[in-house]
Structure formats: C-alpha cells, structure tokens
A and B are shown apart, each in its own frame.
Chain A
Amino acid sequence: MSDEENPLYPLRKKAVSPVPTSFQSSVANLINQAQVQSLLDYWIDERTSLGLPEKPISAYSSEKAVQQTQEIVKEVEFDRTVRFDWNKRRLRT
C-alpha cells in the first residue's frame, strides 16, 4: 500500500485537480466574482480617501455581471473543466 492510500478505503483514489495549484485561487476568483483580483477593504478605504468611488462600476459592484459570468461559465462548461464545486464555491482539489 502506498503512502497516499487510505487504509480504511484502499480503493479510493486521491482527487487531483486539473488546475495547477498556483492557478487555483485565480480561477476560483474568476468564477466567484468575475474578476481575478479581489478588491479588499484596505483598498476600498484608499479608493475613497482618494475621492474615487468605493468600487468601480464593473463586476466589483454588479451582481448582475457576476451572475452572467457564472451562467457563461456553465454554458461553456468551464466549471466541469476546472472541477468547480458550486456548493462550496471552490475548486475540487
């Protein structure tokens, strides 16, 4: 039995994501928020201190844009390609 095998479930294989580890957070962000880069509270504060709107009028502030992106993700079956778990909102790894 190899080290990776589970003694309780010896036939269960460890799932391997088709997405390289270093890409996983970017892919999950793209699906969850329609943007690869997250807009953190720190930068929202800095934006307002510069007199900019809290969030730009892009997917950062548009639920509709995020929903449409997620529907397109399903339509082109990208979620299947990257094995995205819609319940847990992350890639299966």
Chain B
Amino acid sequence: MRTQQVHPVMIFWGCMISAVQPFVEKATRFSLQRLGVALEEMPEATCCPDPEISRTLGGDLWLTLAARNLSIANRASRDVTVICNGCFETLSKANTELSDKAVSDKVNPILNRHGYEYNGSSQIYHMISFLHDVVGLEAVKSKLVQDVSGLRCSPQYGCRVLRENLNLTPKFDRLVEILGAELIHTDTERLCCGVPTMYADPDFSLHQRSEVKLREIKQAGAECITLFCPACAERIERAQVALRSEGEDFNIPVVNYLELLALCLGASPSEIGAHLHRVPLDPILERIRKTT
C-alpha cells in the first residue's frame, strides 16, 4: 500500500466540469482529500482546447493553447491529472507532439512573449491511472467506508480512452469493482456516446449512437452507467431527456466514477450535489451501505 500522503497533483478541470457539472468537481475534491492527495488547481488555465472543433479548424491555436496550459504545470514542477477524456486527449497528444524539439521551438517563441516556456517536464495522467497507479488500488480500497454492493453498473469508457493504448479500461473496471459494483458489459460499451457527431447530425447522434447504447444497457439489466468523461455524461443524460419526448423513458442514472467513489468514501448525496442530475441517482443511493 502507498503512503498516506500522495504527492500533490495539479488538476486540470476543463470547461465542462467547472461550468455544468460542479457535482463532479465537488466529488473529486472530497475524494482526493479523503485519499490524502493534496490538490492544486491549474491557475489561469484556458480551454484545453477541445480536440474536435479547435483542432480541426486551427491546429496551430490548438497546439499553442495546449502548450500554454502544459507550461503552467511545467513551471510549477507538477504532473497534470485530467478527468475529461477530451482534455486528456488534447493535453497528452500535445505533450507528445511538443516533445519534438522542432515543434516546441515553433511554439515557445509565442509562449515566451506571454511569460511561459514549455519544457516537457510534466506527465499527463488520466484520473483512471492516477487513482489506479499513483494513489494505488489498495490505498483507495482501505479508505472506503461504504460500498454499493451488487449495483449493476455499465461502464462507459469513452472513445478517447480506447484510442490511447494506455491499458485504461481494465484499470477502470478494477476501480469500479473495488466499490462492490457488478460490471455489466455490453456489445456497445465501446460505441461512441454521440458527442462528436452531434455537431454535424444531431438526429444521427441521438438515435444511432446514444439511443442504441441506452437500449442495450437497459436490456442488459444495468441500473446505472458509470464513467469519467463529462462530455459522455452530458450527452447520455441529455439524450434520455430528449428521448422522453419521443415516448422512450430509459431512466438510467449516469454517474461519474468520482461521485460513486465520494459516496463510498463517506460523502452524503446532498454534500456532493447528487440532486443536480437530470436523471435521478435514486437506484444508486438506495444501494449504498456501510462496509462491515
């Protein structure tokens, strides 16, 4: 087991968690504090920026703004931990591209004019690997005071985590299992949630991605969907609201893993804003019980 105090982590919240999912931010702060992790926020961070729109339209801007964010962590001599799969893709890919000196030599003169310098000294962790590898699975387990035994959870890994060859999905599964939940795997668990296509074709995104996924999860008997990516969460919750108007009431709670973890570390539902979800978390909250 790791020591009580894990080295400080500089967290990159991204825009969605701060702006539309503060319950995830609250659950993260609660969980890291209970796990003995000193949390530092990235001061003056901007949008990562997003890997779809910004990267497609302006590769130079995408890389320069990502380098600016990374250089803030470089200056503080901190590694970066990211919850959002989109932010993770941007920051980790930019970090890789910038490791080519020819690339960083093009970006650094722009950063220098604003008082920043990219030096490549920061490692980018997805929260999955941070919890699993840096904090340590056993250390997390030792701090749990409640569990969700028997809760049938469908994992939504998110496509960007699948694209990176980082072995994140088995770690994700193990993190869910230590909370006592039962993983319900489906054939569509690796299907995109629908976010990237919703810009071009909202109907396709809703019916050919989100609905297909929800239908299979419902048929498999899962009681909830758990994930890390706030964009997947937003998409799958909103899809359920949209499909209600078409007579389809899936009513499957979508919960960030960090919310589940916070509950199992002793947080009360109201303390972490569980009531702010569009699809109520009741089936999850009913399963929480003290560990013996």
Query: Which A residues contact B (CB, under 8 angstroms)?
Result: 19-20, 22-23, 26-27, 30, 34-40, 43, 46-47, 49-52, 55-60, 62, 64-66, 68-69, 71-73, 75-78, 81-82
Contacts and interface: CB of A to CB of B under 8 A. Distances in A.
B15 A22 contact: no
Contacts of B47: 30, 34-36, 59
A23 B45 contact: no
A23 B19 contact: no
A22 B200 contact: yes
Given A36-B47, A72-B65, A58 B18 contact: yes
A58 B17 CA distance: 12
5 contacts: A34-B47, A37-B20, A46-B273, A56-B41, A65-B45
B110 interface: yes
Interface string B31-52: 0000000000111111101100
Interface residues of B, number: 38
Interface string B1-41: 00000000000010110111011011001000000000001
B87 to A, nearest CB: 11
Contacts of B58: 76, 78, 81-82
Given A46-B273, A46-B276, A65-B44, A35 B15 contact: yes
Contacts of A59: 44-47
Contact of A22 (B60, B199, B273): B199
A78 B200 CA distance: 22
Given A69-B46, A71-B114, A72-B65, A58 B13 contact: yes
Contacts of A69: 46, 65
A75 B114 CA distance: 12
A73 B50 CA distance: 15
Given A34-B46, A43-B20, A68-B114, A27 B57 contact: yes
Contacts of A75: 64, 110, 113
A36 to B, nearest CB: 5
Interface of B: 13, 15-16, 18-20, 22-23, 25-26, 29, 41-47, 49-50, 53-54, 57-58, 60-61, 64-65, 68, 110, 113-114, 199-200, 271-273, 276
Contacts of B50: 26, 30, 36
Contact of A58 (B22, B42, B53, B271): B42
A43 B53 CA distance: 24
Contact of A51 (B26, B60, B110, B276): B26
Nearest to B230: A37
B19 A73 contact: no
A38 B18 CA distance: 10
Contacts of A76: 58, 60-61, 64, 110
B110 A72 contact: yes
